[in-house]
Amino acid sequence: MEKNKEYQVLLYYCYAKIENAEEYREQHHLFCVENNIRGRIIISDEGLNGTVSGLKEDCEKYMAYVHSDPRFAKTEFKIDSHETHAFAKIHVRYKPEIVHSSLRHLDPNVKTGKHLEPEDFRKLKDEEDVVILDVRSNYEHELGHFKNALTLDIDNFRDFPEKVKELEHLKNKKVLTYCTGGIKCEKASAFLLEQGFEDVYQLHGGIIKYGMEAGGEDFEGKCYVFDNRIAVDVNKVNPTVVSKCHVCGTHSDRMVNCANPSCNIHVAVCEECGWELEGACSTECKVHPEKRPYDGTGYYQKQSNGYNPYKGLQRSPKKEKQLHGEAANS
């Protein structure tokens, strides 16, 4: 019997200038705490980037809160149903960029690749003069990618600009970029244009929206996501498994983090090997003195001294009383 999916997971980003980013981070964090929103949110001078979870009604309040600010009115949310929170905590952090790219000089609101809606991407991707370019990291595209996609050997998106040097021979092609939710493509496609590529597109809303609106056709494997689900199904048309167990080599789309925190690599490990190695990726990691207890999921919350949702809030005594439900004038 299918579980009740009373919660939602929201994936979103918005490139928009924030003059008072650190002050806004405080306000945004407080709203999340007061409305039981959990997840990871980055606030930057160049915009917002987040994945959050909450009860459906709380998520609706959160989306309304974001849209109520004129700076973020255009924000598009990818909404997925879930049985419970996809996060244990709320982290709202200020960072120089909303995705670390080493391309701070590029503003996607000024120039970026042409946005393709999922159905348009589906129709265009198999044309003869088209190259489908995955701009994600190795552990992401190894778990799942579009059929015939060109993948890059990068561990972090900040390595993307260096790899573009290897793509010079594709400048006369239509280049269709894609990523998880669309955010990396905004700067990846802008950088390609800057480097002289003329016909550059991006999958609007990324793999997640493509699965929701175009059935995920020809996306092979699963999509890596940055919450405790780790990986999600995308393809409802012609699904397949492309990733292999890091240990034994059998086909497996069961993604884990190595139980050894000093390693912590993201790899596919089949259930049998997972239990045999107690969540580790190798015998060496299995015997590591700091190895974390394995519960069969391969997902580990960051260590903390108990869940403190108020961590990071700069609270005045008055605000602290209000947060704890005390009278402001007591």
- Which residues are designated catalytic? 179
Report the alpha-carbon distance of residue 241 to residue 168 in Å, rounded: 31
DSSP letter at 3 equals P
User: Does residue 87 contact residue 52 with C-beta atoms inside 8 Å?
Assistant: yes
The number of beta carbons lying within 10 Å of the beta carbon of residue 206 is 24
User: Does residue 278 contact residue 287 with C-beta atoms inside 8 Å?
Assistant: no
Report the alpha-carbon distance of residue 224 to residue 266 in Å, rounded: 10
CA distances from 15 to 49, 157, 330 (A): 8, 17, 42
Tokens at residue 65, please? 């809160």
The number of beta carbons lying within 10 Å of the beta carbon of residue 105 is 9
CA distances from 221 to 170, 232, 242 (A): 26, 9, 5
Residue type at 218 in one-letter notation? D
Helix (H, G, I), strand (E, B) or coil at 294: coil
The number of beta carbons lying within 10 Å of the beta carbon of residue 41 is 20
